[in-house]
């Protein structure tokens, strides 16, 4: 149980527990739900109780919030909360549209839980709730020539490992958390088992470039510590422990800098790069959705299972599929 649960009333604890234990959401996601809903409940208490009008919002306890309290929530109060965030009334900082949209989603999820899953409420005030309009920005990604330049820039004492990491990012579109979670036994012939968000597994086919990079790396891989969380790790640090997400981010940053590219390119932008390269080379959106492990590719698009043959075609369609490490 997280420490913050001591600050959460039972009605909120039950919701958080549902997301953590039933939906298998990450601790980070559950943390964000708590913080967003705590801010909303504090707003409601201050709005409804004139005695709290002069109390700093951060000092308002939500421990007394119960089902009766939340059942009185009106749509106008939710919009009032979002307006307050827009104006920066809570902490002096105006919330970005993406922040307001996240809080909006947390509130909707909370009331959906009470109405549809816990069956504790009949009326859902979020049924007619509109999400804040987001500015549409295209994700940044590397061009094909920049991707090749990045791979060619890899050098140093862990050259085979770092090259393999970049190759998997650019060809398979992995999330950084998925990459650090890989174990040696997840690689089976020309396939790779990936554990994605919500502990959902998917199988990816490994193209020629990935297999070549993995073979070169495994030949020199450091044997990790014989501890449960390290001993099966595919990617190992010099301390013989499983690489952390921070370590992988540093590896990517180093390679990007050595290649003379924008240092803002992160592992997630390499994921965008892989997706873009596949789309530009004939992979349909639904197949890409399956390869990337997206539950929803768009706000209304339903997850579609694609055949093994199509998934193999997707990674093979990546123009980096046949790029091999050049020997000095």
Q: In what order do the strands lie in the sheet with 187-188?
A: 187-188, 191-195, 201-205
Sign of CA dihedral 184, 188, 190, 194: negative
What lies within 8 Å, CB to CB, of 239 at 6+ separation is: none
> 34 to each of 7, 71, 78, 197, how far by Cα in Å?
10, 18, 16, 19
What lies within 8 Å, CB to CB, of 167 at 6+ separation is: 151, 209, 210, 213, 320, 323
Only one residue has tokens 């909370």, namely 110
CB-neighbour burial class of residue 209 (10 A; exposed 0-12, middle 13-18, buried 19+): buried
Cα 174 to Cα 272: distance, rounded to the nearest angstrom: 10
Catalytic (active-site) positions: 175, 197, 268, 271, 294, 303
Q: Which two tokens stand for residue 256?
A: 């990007």
Q: Which two tokens stand for residue 153?
A: 């820039």
């Amino acid at each position: 149980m997280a420490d913050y649960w001591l600050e959460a009333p039972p009605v909120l604890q039950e919701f958080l527990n549902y997301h953590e234990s039933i939906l298998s959401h990450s601790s980070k996601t559950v943390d964000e739900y708590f913080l967003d809903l705590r801010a909303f409940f504090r707003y409601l208490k201050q709005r409804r109780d004139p005695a709290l009008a002069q109390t700093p919002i951060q000092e308002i306890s939500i421990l007394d919030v119960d089902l009766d309290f939340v059942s009185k929530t009106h749509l106008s109060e939710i919009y009032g909360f979002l307006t307050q965030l827009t104006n920066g009334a809570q902490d002096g900082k105006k919330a970005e549209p993406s922040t307001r949209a996240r809080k909006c989603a947390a509130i909707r999820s909370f009331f959906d839980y009470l109405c549809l899953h816990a069956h504790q409420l009949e009326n859902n005030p979020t049924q007619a709730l509109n999400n804040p309009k987001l500015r549409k920005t295209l994700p940044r990604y590397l061009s094909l020539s920049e991707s090749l330049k990045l791979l060619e820039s890899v050098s140093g004492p862990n050259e085979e490992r770092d090259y393999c990491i970049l190759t998997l990012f650019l060809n398979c579109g992995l999330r950084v958390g998925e990459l650090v979670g890989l174990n040696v036994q997840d690689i089976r012939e020309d396939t790779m088992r990936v554990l994605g968000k919500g502990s959902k597994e998917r199988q990816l086919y490994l193209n020629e470039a990935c297999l070549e990079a993995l073979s070169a790396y495994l030949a020199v891989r450091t044997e990790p510590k014989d501890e449960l969380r390290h001993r099966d790790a595919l990617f190992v640090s010099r301390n013989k422990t499983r690489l952390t997400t921070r370590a992988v981010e540093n590896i990517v940053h180093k390679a990007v800098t050595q290649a003379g590219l924008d240092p803002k390119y992160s592992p997630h932008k390499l994921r965008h790069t892989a997706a873009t390269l596949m789309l530009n080379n004939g992979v349909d959106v639904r197949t890409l959705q399956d390869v990337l492990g997206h539950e929803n590719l768009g706000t209304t698009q339903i997850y579609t299972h694609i055949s093994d043959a199509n998934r193999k075609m997707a990674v093979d369609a990546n123009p980096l599929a046949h790029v091999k490490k050049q020997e000095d």
